[in-house]
Amino acid sequence: MPSPKKDYLGLFGSIVRAGFLGEGLRFQRSNYALKPMLLGKYDVLRSILSPGSEFERLVKDLPRDFKSVAKTELYRKSSGWIEKGEKDRKFKEILVREKPFIVPILSKQTVGIDTSGESDGTYICIACLCDAKCGYAFLDRHLQLPKAKEPVELKWAKLNRDYRKKVMENLQILFQMSASAILIIKTNALVGREEKLTDVFVKLIDGCFSGYKHNEGEARAKLRSRFFELTDDVQIHCDSDFTPLTTPVIVHQLVKTLSGGRPFTPLHVVLKSEASHPIQLSDIICGAVKSLIQEDKESELGFKQISFNKKLKGKSKDAKVFVWENQARDPGVESRKPLARTLPPLEAP
Question: Is residue 3's pLDDT more than 90?
Answer: no
pLDDT value at residue 339: 33
Four-residue CA torsion sign, 7, 12, 15, 16: negative
Question: Is residue 342's pLDDT more than 50?
Answer: no
Q: Collapsing DSSP states into helix, strand and coil, what is residue 323?
A: strand
Average pLDDT of the chain is 90
Please give the Cα distance from 157 to 174 (Å, whole number): 18
The secondary element (H helix, E strand) that includes residue 85 is: helix 81-87
DSSP structure class, residue 33? E
Question: Is residue 213's pLDDT more than 70?
Answer: no
Please give the Cα distance from 130 to 112 (Å, whole number): 11
Q: Compare 256 and 347 and report the one with higher pLDDT.
A: 256
Which residue type, as a one-letter code, is found at position 318? D
Question: Is residue 309's pLDDT more than 80?
Answer: yes
Question: Is residue 247's pLDDT more than 80?
Answer: yes
Instruction: Show Cβ contacts of residue 129 under 8 Å, excluding neighbours closer than 6 positions.
Output: 109, 110, 111, 112, 135, 178, 179, 180, 278, 281, 282
**Interval 313-339 mean pLDDT:** 73
Nearest CA among 7, 10, 178, 13 for reference residue 102? 13
Nearest CA among 301, 262, 250 for reference residue 97? 301
pLDDT value at residue 289: 97
Q: Collapsing DSSP states into helix, strand and coil, what is residue 269?
A: coil
pLDDT value at residue 30: 95
Please give the Cα distance from 301 to 169 (Å, whole number): 11
Question: Is residue 346's pLDDT more than 70?
Answer: no
**Interval 101-115 mean pLDDT:** 97
Q: Is 128 left (phi over 0), alpha (psi -120 to 50) or beta?
A: beta
Span 72-85, pLDDT tens digits:
999 998 899 999 99
Q: How many CB atoms lie within 10 A of CB 94?
A: 20
**Interval 296-301 mean pLDDT:** 94
pLDDT value at residue 7: 78
Query: Which segments of the chain are extended strands (E)?
Result: 24-27, 30-33, 39-40, 91-96, 99-104, 110-118, 121-129, 148-149, 152-153, 179-187, 235-238, 267-268, 304-306, 319-325
pLDDT value at residue 212: 65
Which residue type, as a one-letter code, is found at position 4? P
